[in-house]
Chain A
Amino acid sequence: DTAVSQTPKYLVTQMGNDKSIKCEQNLGHDTMYWYKQDSKKFLKIMFSYNNKELIINETVPNRFSPKSPDKAHLNLHINSLELGDSAVYFCASSRIQGLGANVLTFGAGSRLTVL
């Protein structure tokens, strides 16, 4: 039933490790996003994919590599994790990109803690 599902919900790991967060949407949307919410609650866009193509890349370090095997999935892989990567990562999707894209459906978030 869940429209946008993310796994895992919680992730605790050591500095230097590589980890992935998966996201799937069953809404038939063409566009998917990754947002990062830091400890101060600011929610910032990281990436946007439309039909498996990268549309937005907000100068995120190249340790972050999104992968979209199909338009229903957008996974986030993070290499060489750093303390500053600790945050809640939200996946979202929308029907189309651009002007009509603002009705986003968000996942429940994945809380990453780097020790």
Chain B
Amino acid sequence: KQEVTQIPAALSVPEGENLVLNCSFTDSAIYNLQWFRQDPGKGLTSLLLIQSSQREQTSGRLNASLDKSSGRSTLYIAASQPGDSATYLCAVSSNTGKLIFGQGTTLQVKP
């Protein structure tokens, strides 16, 4: 049974710092991995999607890596801003399309 774990559960950093969020999964037979952002009282927004054959994806200040063999992914946020404050969720997908989510990392970026 696939399990997804995210560490840390919460993170507080001063504005401008670079930071890394971690995601691990127990079954390496994944189809792809996604990082989502969740703002309070709102739905989830997909940030980056990495196919199982890819090693990383980049979008602006965000870079996500995938090491399928070790069951790990990282989300790197460069030059963090207060607007980056949110909960970040990692989710892996089997070939049936079903998403298995981690419990998220709640990020606070202080001005």
A residues sitting closer than 8 Å to B (CB atoms) are 4, 40-45, 48, 56, 90, 92, 94, 97-109
Contacts and interface: CB of A to CB of B under 8 A. Distances in A.
A90 B43 CA distance: 7
B31 interface: yes
19 contacts: A41-B103, A41-B104, A42-B101, A43-B44, A43-B91, A43-B101, A44-B101, A45-B98, A45-B99, A56-B96, A56-B98, A94-B97, A98-B97, A99-B95, A103-B46, A103-B49, A104-B44, A106-B45, A109-B43
B44 A102 contact: no
Contacts of A106: 43-45
Interface string B98-111: 11010110000000
B34 interface: yes
B17 to A, nearest CB: 23
Given A107-B43, A109-B43, A40 B103 contact: yes
Given A41-B87, A102-B49, A102-B93, A108 B43 contact: yes
- Give the interface residue-count category, chain B: 20 to 34
B101 A102 contact: no
Nearest to A102: B93
A102 B103 contact: no
A36 to B, nearest CB: 11
Identify the interface centre among B31, B43, B98, B103: most chain A CB within 10 Å of its CB: B43
B42 interface: yes
A56 B93 CA distance: 14
Nearest to B43: A106
A97 B97 contact: yes
Interface in B49-79: 49
